[in-house]
Amino acid sequence: MTIPEGDDPATLVSTDWLAARLTSPDLRVLDASWYLPDAGRDPLADYGDAHIPGARFVALDEVSDGRSALPHMAPPLEKFMSRMRRIGVGDGHMVVIYDGAGLFSAARLWWLFRLFGQRAAVLDGGLPKWVAEGRPVTADLPQIRDRHMTPAPQPHLMRDVTEVAQIAKLGQAEIVDARAAARFRGDAAEPRPGLRAGHIPGARSLPFGQLLNKDGTMKPASGLRAAFQTAGVDLDRPVITTCGSGVTAAILNLALARLGHADHALYDGSWAEWGMYPDLKIATGDA
């Protein structure tokens, strides 16, 4: 069943939707900005300079599994709940997540909320669209009170390397890679040292930018569906998303949720894990 176009507090909301509710006591706005190292940006410093009024900052590394050698792995439930409680996010809140790139890392935090059974939405176009429209920003920090959150874990939304290897071998699902096409083909070196170049055998290439408009907003349902179909993805089958380190793959999951796709999961280790192990097969080229 396809979700109707427009604002949906479980997936994506517009700047108009957020502006109309900005003073609601039940609203929690989260800045989940994160950038690749070559971007030269400090998301916490940017937040300190200007953020949407009332927004709390969430560093992705602080809601990741610090025990893992892999980047951005999903944290234990207790760590996620503790972090949310400390920034005053809990039961009954409308949660809206944005980032400073438009629609990039916010989707990762949105996916973590889903993984732990919580509803949240991504702000379509993020902070750039909000600012471009002349909407308010501030450097003032919000007052925070602890808030209890009741977890309802959804482990089926995440796949590990063993599961993905089995699924790839048997062709049990569509595996969709959000990295740039050159990295998928193996034509470009991986930014992380020691990783092989290429992709999971049988995977389809759908760079996340193909799901976005030029202004950083997400395409309408018709455009999302067309992008998946052009990539050769059968949306009647289960889908597993992957990318470099599990961040941009979540944009694909957000798009699938917008399309009402009922069976999609994220490979959390992504290429940072798969590309590291020589005993896992890789493919190069377009297929």
Please state, in angstroms and as integers, the Cα–Cα distance from residue 205 to each residue in 230, 284, 286, following that order: 10, 11, 8
Structure-block tokens of residue 224? 């999302």
pLDDT in tens, 211-248: 999 999 999 999 999 999 999 999 999 999 999 999 99
Between the alpha carbon of residue 244 and those of residues 5, 25, 50, 80, the distances in Å are 30, 37, 29, 22
Least Cα distance to 101 among 122, 119, 120 occurs for: 122
pLDDT tens digits for 117-162? 999 999 999 999 999 999 999 999 999 998 999 999 999 999 999 9
Mapping DSSP to helix (H, G, I), strand (E, B) and coil, where does residue 98 land?
Answer: strand
Q: Is the pLDDT of residue 172 over 70?
A: yes
**What mean pLDDT, rounded, does the chain reach?**
96
- Is the model's pLDDT at 173 over the cut of 90? yes
Q: Check whether 86 has a pLDDT greater than 80.
A: yes
- CB burial of 76-94 (b: ≥16 within 10 Å; e: otherwise) equals eeebbbebbbebebbeebb
User: Is the model more confident about 219 or about 39?
Assistant: 219
Question: Which of 12, 13, 243, 256 is an active site residue?
Answer: 243
Question: According to CATH, where is 3.40.250.10 located in the chain?
Answer: 12-153, 156-274
Reply yes or no on whether the pLDDT at 2 is more than 60: no
Q: Give domain 156-274's CATH superfamily.
A: Rhodanese-like domain (3.40.250.10)
Residue 175 carries which DSSP code? Answer: E
Amino acid 37: pLDDT: 81
Question: Alpha carbon of 43 to those of 14, 62, 106: distances in Å?
Answer: 22, 13, 12
Containing 161, the helix (H) or strand (E) segment is: helix 161-170
Which two three-digit tokens encode residue 51? 């953020």
Alpha carbon separation from 19 to 40, 50, 137 (Å, rounded): 30, 16, 12
12-153 domain in CATH 3.40.250.10? Answer: yes
Is 243 in the active site? Answer: yes
Of the listed ranges 2-16, 82-96, 103-117, the one predicted with least confidence: 2-16
Single out the residue of 120, 140, 135, 110 nearest to residue 50, CA to CA.
140
> Given pLDDT bands bounded at 50, 70 and 90, which one contains residue 6?
confident
- Distance in angstroms (rounded) separating the CA atoms of residues 256 and 250: 10
What pLDDT sits at residue 36? 87
pLDDT over 80 at 5, yes or no: no
pTM over 0.95: yes
The per-residue pLDDT for 53 is 98
